[in-house]
């Protein structure tokens, strides 16, 4: 075998590497396969298409609770709409909502879409004070130019203030 090294030490190292490599590759592959269900992606309503967020896949959906969309039934089911001002998604949640949940509020709901593209949430998180919005939601709304925190000046106000200095 001319491709093997002539030195016995080098041959031994080659055999050790050849034996450890498949075991290591198998361990990494099994670890990644086991973690595939624990990865939860975040989408805004306009990004949550059937291709990106297929039926039954556990995701996080974030946006603002649409005004006039909250409907509570007697059996603890709450139906509301989440919007990013570009698209709206209907959300069904069974359970107690956070105390700070209200219309116009930024929320993140974790759950999955059904065949009719209704989002069934297993958990709903609401912002905890008037200065907080989930970073992903704020980033997506800022990208579209649809959201700015209360009291923050617009770009025109910033330019006008800078020119008066």
Query: Which 3 state secondary structure label does DSSP give 27?
Result: helix
What SS3 string covers 41-78?
EEECCCCCCCCCCCCCCCEEEEEEECCCCCEECCCCEE
Alpha carbon dihedral 151, 153, 157, 162, in 10-degree steps, equals: 120
Q: Which long-range contacts (CB under 8 A, 24 or more apart) does 21-28 make?
A: none
How many other C-beta atoms lie within 10 A of the C-beta of residue 22?
9
What is the rounded distance in angstroms from the CA atom of residue 69 to the CA atom of residue 65?
Answer: 8
Q: Is 128 annotated as a binding residue?
A: yes
Q: Quick one: how far is CA 87 from the chain centroid?
A: 16
Q: Is 71 annotated as a binding residue?
A: no
Residues tagged in the binding site annotation for heme:
128, 132
Residues tagged in the binding site annotation:
128, 132
């Amino acid at each position: 075998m001319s491709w093997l090294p002539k030195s016995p030490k080098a041959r031994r190292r080659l055999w050790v590497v050849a034996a450890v490599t498949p075991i290591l590759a198998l361990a990494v592959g099994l670890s990644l396969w086991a973690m595939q269900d624990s990865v939860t992606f975040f989408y805004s309503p306009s990004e949550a298409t059937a291709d990106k967020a297929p039926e039954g896949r556990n995701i996080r959906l974030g946006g603002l609770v649409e005004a006039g969309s909250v409907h509570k039934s007697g059996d603890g089911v709450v139906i509301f709409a989440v919007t990013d001002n570009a698209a709206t998604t209907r959300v069904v949640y069974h359970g107690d909502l956070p105390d700070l949940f209200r219309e116009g509020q930024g929320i993140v709901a974790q759950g999955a879409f059904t065949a009719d593209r209704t989002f069934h949430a297993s958990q709903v998180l609401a912002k905890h004070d008037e200065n907080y919005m989930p970073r992903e939601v704020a980033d997506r709304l800022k990208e579209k130019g649809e959201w700015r925190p209360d009291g923050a000046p617009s770009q025109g106000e910033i330019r006008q203030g800078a020119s008066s200095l």
